[in-house]
Structure 1
Amino acid sequence: MENKIIVITSRFGSLSEFFDLWLKSASRNKDVDFLILTDIDIKCNADNIMVEKYSSFKQFINEVNEKIGYNTGIVTPFKTADLRPAYAFLFEDIIKQKYYERYGNKGKYDFWGYCDTDLIFGDLSHFISDDTLDNCDVFQTWGHFTLVRNIDKFNQLYGACYKQYKLKKSLKLPENCMVEEGPFILQLHAAGARIDSDVRRIADIKRNVFEFTVDGQNYKGQRFIYQSGKIIRIIENEGQICVVDEFMYMHFMSKPSIASTTTKQNPALLQG
């Protein structure tokens, strides 16, 4: 793929119980680079997995405060998700350096993005192609995975007001405001960004529902299989296994006990 992509995530203090699965599935998607901001020793030999190590969460926040020009008031790693609209600005030097280390020239990434680590990636190249990216500026609009075209017009939106919203005010609040899913997407839309978002690409496990259900069509007894780097949904019909469709990734949301138990028993099979 000609378009170069960097997806940024962060883990401070401890790794989630999904992290090993996330890391292995991310490393198989060679067309996408992943940058992990962390204070943890993370080992991975895959070329597309890059780590920016901080001595502590406090050091990370101090550098964020200095770069953004005010005290954000962030005291917990969970709250850092609200920094996502500012990632391209906050980490522009790191992003440039990682590009140079990866590709050996002074070019730049065509898209930057962010993602959660409570998911397992399927084959991203099945959904993200040059043709797709050439015809959009924003790919997917969810906090668990979004790509944004790497241009100043969009990278500087974090500092702009949108109606009653302002990032600085949101960062002062103790709770996670999910600005990357709400106000930031509205800002991008207002700035003329071409948005390509389709919930049917994602196996997004519903909250407070035991079965693994997704937005859109669901099937009785559906199962989600991670096989050969793909997330595939299958059903059993009159004793025959039928492949229904393929997903970009499976997102576990707030159901760690179900997903963890299932994946530990059989990491290749997630059954609803």
Structure 2
Amino acid sequence: MYSIAYVVPYFGKFPKGFQFWLMSCGCNPSIDWLIFTDDRTDYDYPDNVKVTYWTFDQMRTRVQSIFDFPISLERPYKLCDYKPAYGEIFERELRGYDFWGDCDIDLVWGDIRKFYTDEVLENYEKVGFNGHSMLFRNTPQVCSRYRTCVEGALSYRDVFSVDQGFAFDETGMDAIYEALGIPVYKEIDFANLLKYDYGFYLDWQDEEDREKNEAQVFTWSHGVVTRHYLYKGRIETKEYLYLHYWCRPTSFRIHEYDPNRQYLIYPDVTTDKPFHMDEELIRRKSKRSKVKYYAKSIWFNRHKITLERIVFNVKGMLGYKNGC
């Protein structure tokens, strides 16, 4: 079995769903998570989640140490652009692992090994294409791949020198791997929820599957993420690698974090309240009030709504690129 470690630098207070995320990590005992944070809250950390308490200044110093030019790392959010460099930045901590990865914490893991099998890891050096979860083979060549300069695409030196977000971990790395002709594992085995839809609507679906979004909820049980949806008059199910909340204003109404309990996940709530899965529950829970949902979403994301984010999103939609 290939060994895997996810690297998760996070500065500031962890979000409300963090303990739920930790529980799902603990249900994947053959994988490690290396967290670097300044949040010393007394969470129930599983054995495979290893915490190092750093200040953001220590993080900035570590990043600067591997580059021969002045970097820009003024805010924790800028770390998104540095994700492809984690293999070099955390080279000491990652020694002995076959693969290292980066991931978000606004998600809940399912059974990772069921999807990231040894066969997949044997055939790809890069697994995943979205910033919420990617794996890279832990070799010097792969860890330095982000330094490749591709004409007409983002350059790591330009990205790391400016106090601005570029989504280099996604668009930048996509351009590099495409230019080099290196295959990337791009299966849609995750459930990515649209953050601006008041119901549950999955992104990254084939056109013929979109009608399956009409009524659906999710469950997390014994380390498995399952989608329950209505399709042609019957209840269908599908298992996923993980469910990505993606900044949705979710309330975690959880009384006990226990891997043996079953949790229900619907548009803006995750709960351990007992339930019976049937058509009536799916229809009732799959939609929320538009007004209430959007009001809650604006309040939940109020600190993230900035001119820079708006400009960045617009540029991303227009296919903005920076030269090498």
Shorter-chain TM band: 0.7 to 0.9
RMSD of equivalent CA atoms? 2.1
The CA deviation at 1:225 is: 0.7
TM-superposition CA deviations, 1:221-267 (whole Å, max 9, x none): 21111111111011357997x34201111111131x2xx22x32688
Alpha-carbon distance in 2 for matches of 1:137, 1:189: 13
Letter in 2 for 1:247: Y
Alpha-carbon distance in 1 for matches of 2:181, 2:30: 27
Per mean C-alpha deviation after superposition, the further-off stretch among 39-48 and 155-164 is 39-48
SS in structure 1 of the partner of residue 92 of structure 2: helix
Letter in 1 for 2:110: G
Aligned to 1:20: 19
Aligned to 1:176: 165
1:120 aligns with 2:108: yes
User: Which runs of at least 4 in structure 1 moved beyond 6 Å after TM superposition?
Assistant: 237-240
Aligned to 2:4: 5
Alpha-carbon distance in 1 for matches of 2:164, 2:15: 20
Conserved 8 A contact 1:139-1:147: yes
Letter in 2 for 1:250: L
TM-score by length of 1: 0.85
Percent of aligned positions that are identical: 25
The CA deviation at 1:167 is: 1.0
**What are structure 1's unaligned runs of at least 5 residues?**
97-107
Aligned to 1:269: 264
Letter in 2 for 1:222: Q
SS in structure 2 of the partner of residue 20 of structure 1: helix
Aligned to 2:52: 52
The CA deviation at 1:185 is: 2.5
Aligned to 1:103: none
Aligned to 1:111: 99
TM-superposition CA deviations, 1:37-92 (whole Å, max 9, x none): 212226445232112221x1112102211222332111111111111111111110
Conserved 8 A contact 1:11-1:36: yes
Conserved 8 A contact 2:36-2:51: yes
TM-score by length of 2: 0.72
Equivalence map 1:116-155=2 (5 Å): 116-155=104-143
Q: Of 163, 182, 187, which residue of structure 2 is paired with 1:198? A: 187
SS in structure 2 of the partner of residue 133 of structure 1: helix
Which of the two has higher C-alpha Rg? Answer: 2
Conserved 8 A contact 2:19-2:44: no
Conserved 8 A contact 1:204-1:250: yes
Conserved 8 A contact 1:154-1:188: no
Per mean C-alpha deviation after superposition, the further-off stretch among 216-225 and 5-14 is 216-225
SS in structure 2 of the partner of residue 72 of structure 1: coil
Alpha-carbon distance in 2 for matches of 1:243, 1:228: 19
Aligned to 1:167: 156
Alpha-carbon distance in 1 for matches of 2:114, 2:62: 37
Aligned to 1:92: 91
Alpha-carbon distance in 2 for matches of 1:197, 1:141: 6
The CA deviation at 1:190 is: 3.2
Conserved 8 A contact 1:7-1:114: yes
- Label 1:63 to 1:224 Cα distance change in 2 as closer, same or farther (>3 A): same
Alpha-carbon distance in 2 for matches of 1:82, 1:128: 24
Letter in 2 for 1:83: Y
Aligned to 1:82: 81
Aligned to 1:223: 217
Alpha-carbon distance in 2 for matches of 1:21, 1:175: 31
Alpha-carbon distance in 1 for matches of 2:140, 2:175: 17
